A and B are shown apart, each in its own frame.
Chain A
């Protein structure tokens, strides 16, 4: 079956540090890949997505590139802020099965001033 494996957390960084959260997936075919972010006490919201190999998704300074050869979709940001503190989820989705998504377990990021 499909699965998504995320870098275990929690991750603690100082403000302006470089961020990488690793995400690898196991799937057949060509799923779309997503990063969602969850702020405390809230639902998830889409951060960025990529729908085919070599696509780069980007938003709010975050980037991730769909690497089919390594089955990865690592999240990066060059300079994190305190406001980036949240839980980050990697997910994949096929154009079948009623659009169900497979989520990773989430990685908690804390950014200290």
Chain B
């Protein structure tokens, strides 16, 4: 069966510090991968998605970046965090080539920028 992991689960970082969040998927190959941010009490904002290794599409201009160094690994980064980067970050995957299927979400990372 497929599983998706995210770490860390929680993170408290000072403004201006770097960020690296990691997501890995097990049990499937060549998945579509997604990063979302969920602000407190709000809906989901799609940040990045990837259809293959090294292929990253950005949905919202910001000071975040994403990379996909391996087929089932998706990393969200920032060189200098802003207060507005605080939120709940969710990684998700879906099967490639079958766009009607659902997305599977990881447990999330709670980021607080102070």
Query: Which of B41, B46, B98, B108 sits near A43, CB closer than 8 Å?
Result: B108
Query: Which of B43, B51, B98, B102 sits near A49, CB closer than 8 Å?
Result: B102
Within 8 A of B (CB), among A88-113: 89, 93-101, 103-106, 108
Asked whether, in the complex, the Cβ of A42 is within 8 Å of the Cβ of B107, the reply is yes
Bin the interface of chain A by size.
20 to 34
Query: Which of A34, A36, A96, A98 sits near B49, CB closer than 8 Å?
Result: A98
Question: Inside 8 A of A41's CB, which chain B residues have their CB?
Answer: 108, 110
Q: How far is the CB of B36 from chain A (nearest CB, A)?
A: 8
Q: Please judge, given known A-B contacts A51-B100, A89-B43, whether A98 and B51 are in contact too, CB under 8 Å.
A: yes
- Please tell me the number of chain B residues within 8 Å of chain A, measured between CB atoms: 28
Complex interface bits, A18-54 against B, C-beta within 8 A gives 1, otherwise 0? 0000000000000010101000011111100101000
Within 8 A of A (CB), among B10-42: 32, 34, 41-42
Q: Which residues of A line the B interface, CB within 8 A?
A: 32, 34, 36, 41-46, 49, 51, 89, 93-101, 103-106, 108
Question: Other than the known A32-B100, A101-B46, what 14 A-B pairs have Cβ atoms closer than 8 Å?
Answer: A34-B102, A41-B108, A43-B106, A44-B92, A44-B103, A46-B103, A89-B43, A93-B99, A93-B102, A95-B100, A99-B99, A100-B34, A103-B43, A103-B44
